[in-house]
Amino acid sequence: MGKMAKMFSFMLVTTILVIGRESWALENCLQEQARLRAQVHLLETRVKQQQVKIAQLLHEKEIQFLERGEENSVIDLGGKRQYADCSEIFNDGYKRSGFYKIKPLQSLAEFSVYCDMSDGGGWTVIQRRSDGSENFSRGWDDYENGFGNFVQKNGEYWLGNKNLHLLTTQGDYTLKIDLADFEKNSNYAQYKNFKVGDEKNSYELNIGEYSGTAGDALGVNFHPEMQWWGSHQNMKFSTWDRDNDNYEGNCAEEDQSGWWFNRCHSANLNGLYYPGSYRAETDNGIIWHTWHGWWYSLKSVVMKIRPNDFIPNIV
Ligand SMILES: *[C@@H]1O[C@H](CO)[C@@H](O)[C@H](O)[C@H]1NC(C)=O
Ligand SMILES: [Ca+2]
């Protein structure tokens, strides 16, 4: 081999080596870049996961804090979110029964209501009788706006026809009525699609299918004759000063109550509080006729509502 040839082959080998090393370096560089990108992505994902976890922990801590609160005070959720009813509060993780603020979709203002988070949870209590401490012999305005004790756990109240209308027009609600007598027995009646009309319709009552153990005293669908005078289906609301009943007299005045009277009633849950069996000129006690007849006034009543499609929490 000549000198030139030797020189040439040396240069060739060197060139190949250099190019080879450069392409190897380039390859390495690209790999490194991909590796770093993957790492950045992983770290970003971790940061996001941590942020979600922190938010969850804060929420849980808030719930724990609220669960240690006083039994009789209104539970203040700080107004970060508005809730249209108690089922939304329940679904947001607040599982403690008590008074909360809610604001139905078309309501101009929020108001306090007792949320029953037992019995599957998410119940908005619209009426309670427990000890006769509130006067339910009231006129139209009081029944329209609501009255009673919105502070104590067993406080008696009527949430107000206006609020009942606002609540029940924002969706399909189930009404459950829990009843108890003075002999420690309890029964319930439940109605699908409970709706209360607006002011123009005098807060007319609308109820769907009945189920339960106390009997269908609101709909009286089991007895056509009794239905004619005793059913509360499609009845307007009446008070002593606003007679919308089907009776020639004034049911609300005779029975000292406000209710969806017909001619007059087979259920009167806003009646006078008596300790069980009673005698009076009219059947003006707290009546659920299909369970205890007209001459027995019940010990306690809770009327509560929840969306039909709510998925109960089974404990
Ligand atoms: C309940 O309130 C009505 C109307 O304000 C009143 O006439 C009646 O006397 C009250 N009843 C009782 C037991 O206080
Ligand atoms: Ca009348």
Band of pLDDT at residue 69, cut at 50, 70 and 90: low
CA-proximal residue: ligand 1, atom 12 (nearest): 135
One-letter amino acid of 152? Q
Mutation test of ligand 1: which of 135, 253, 273 has the most ligand atoms closer than 8 Å to its C-beta?
Answer: 135
Q: Residue 58: in which H helix or E strand, if any? A: helix 3-67
Q: What is the pLDDT of residue 315?
A: 64
**Model's pTM, two decimal places?**
0.82
Q: List pLDDT tens digits, range 267-303.
A: 999 999 999 999 999 999 999 999 999 999 999 999 9
Q: List pLDDT tens digits, range 25-50.
A: 888 888 888 898 989 888 888 888 88
Mean pLDDT of the chain: 92
Mutation test of ligand 1: which of 131, 133, 137 has the most ligand atoms closer than 8 Å to its C-beta?
Answer: 137
Cβ-Cβ contacts under 8 Å for 59 (sequence gap 6 or more): 93
Across 14-28, 75-89, 157-171, least confident range: 14-28
Q: What is the pLDDT of residue 30?
A: 85
Q: What is the pLDDT of residue 67?
A: 64
- For residue 198, report the distance from its CA to the centre of ligand 1, in Å: 27
d(Cα 87, Cα 119) in Å, to the nearest integer? Answer: 12
Residues 104, 258, 167, CA angle at the centre, nearest 5°? 10
Here the tokens at position 294 are 């007209």
CA-proximal residue: ligand 1, atom 11 (nearest): 135
User: Quick check: 21 pLDDT over 90?
Assistant: no
Here the tokens at position 104 are 């139905």
Rg (CA), the chain: 34
- For residue 246, report the distance from its CA to the centre of ligand 2, in Å: 5
Q: What is the pLDDT of residue 2?
A: 67
Across 16-30, 105-119, 179-193, least confident range: 16-30
CB-side exposure of 1: number of CA atoms within 13 Å?
A: 8
CB contact at 8 A, 199 and 205: no
- Ligand 1 atom nearest residue 136's Cα: 1
Q: List pLDDT tens digits, range 222-259.
A: 999 999 999 999 999 999 999 999 999 999 999 999 99
Burial status of residue 117 (CB atoms within 10 A of its CB: 0-12, 13-18, 19 or more): buried
Q: What is the pLDDT of residue 71?
A: 59
Q: List pLDDT tens digits, range 173-222.
A: 999 999 999 999 999 999 999 999 999 999 999 999 999 999 999 999 99
Q: What is the pLDDT of residue 66?
A: 66
CA-proximal residue: ligand 1, atom 5 (nearest): 138
How many C-beta atoms surround the C-beta of residue 198 within 10 A? 13
- Ligand 1 atom nearest residue 135's Cα: 1
In this structure, the residues whose C-beta lies within 6 A of any atom of ligand 1 are 135, 137-138
Band of pLDDT at residue 305, cut at 50, 70 and 90: very high
pLDDT-above-70 percentage for the chain: 95
- For residue 193, report the distance from its CA to the centre of ligand 2, in Å: 27
CA-proximal residue: ligand 1, atom 8 (nearest): 137
User: Quick check: 143 pLDDT over 70?
Assistant: yes
CB contact at 8 A, 258 and 276: no
CB contact at 8 A, 174 and 305: yes
Task: Give the distance, in angstroms, between the CA of residue 7 and the centroid of all CA atoms in the same chain.
Answer: 92
Which ligand is in closest contact with the Cα of 252? 2
Give me the sign of the Cα torsion angle 162, 167, 171, 177: negative
- For residue 250, report the distance from its CA to the centre of ligand 1, in Å: 17
d(Cα 259, Cα 267) in Å, to the nearest integer? Answer: 9
Higher-confidence position of 135 and 54: 135
- For residue 184, report the distance from its CA to the centre of ligand 1, in Å: 29
d(Cα 21, Cα 27) in Å, to the nearest integer? Answer: 10
> Could you tell me the end-to-end alpha-carbon distance of the chain, in angstroms, rounded to an integer?
94
Which ligand is in closest contact with the Cα of 258? 1
- Ligand 1 atom nearest residue 138's Cα: 4
> What DSSP string runs through 109-177?
S-EEEEEE-STTS-EEEEEEESSS-S-----HHHHHH-EE-SSSTT--EE--HHHHHHHHTSS-EEEEE
User: Quick check: 127 pLDDT over 70?
Assistant: yes
Across 55-59, 151-155, 163-167, least confident range: 55-59
